[in-house]
Amino acid sequence: GAVVSQHPSRVICKSGTSVKIECRSLDFQATTMFWYRQFPKQSLMLMATSNEGSKATYEQGVEKDKFLINHASLTLSTLTVTSAHPEDSSFYICSARESGGQETQYFGPGTRLLVL
């Protein structure tokens, strides 16, 4: 089946630093990848949609200058949380849509970010 990986799985950083999270589709090509954020005991909230080779589309209320998304290849998208603050602590999950496939989204295992 379609496998999506994320790295790192967990990261702890100091306030003010930047953190990069990678999302990879391991056995398929993904023209579209999605970034979600999930707070404890809450559902996933879509942050942005990224298409390979073009700028990401951000959801309302998501700061594009704070959450930088790059989708440089058909198998890799990155989310960089710039100048992280404690309120950015959350579970970040990416998903990828298989090009020409069943059109469903396959999710990565998530990255837990803790900003001290």
Partner 1 sequence: QKEVEQDPGPLSVPEGAIVSLNCTYSNSAFQYFMWYRQYSRKGPELLMYTYSSGNKEDGRFTAQVDKSSKYISLFIRDSQPSDSATYLCAMSPNNAGNMLTFGGGTRLMVKP
Contact set with partner 1 (CB under 8 A): 4, 6, 32, 34, 41-44, 46, 49, 91, 93, 95, 97-98, 102-110, 112
Min CB(97)–partner 1 separation in Å? 4
Give the residue with the Cβ less far from partner 1, 15 or 39: 39
Residues 6+ apart with CB under 8 A from 73: 52
Measured in degrees and rounded to the nearest 5, phi and psi for residue 97 equal: -100, 125
Min CB(88)–partner 1 separation in Å? 18
| 3-class DSSP state of 29 | coil
87's torsion region: left (phi>0), alpha (psi -120 to 50) or beta?
Answer: alpha
Min CB(110)–partner 1 separation in Å? 5
Give the residue with the Cβ less far from partner 1, 29 or 105: 105
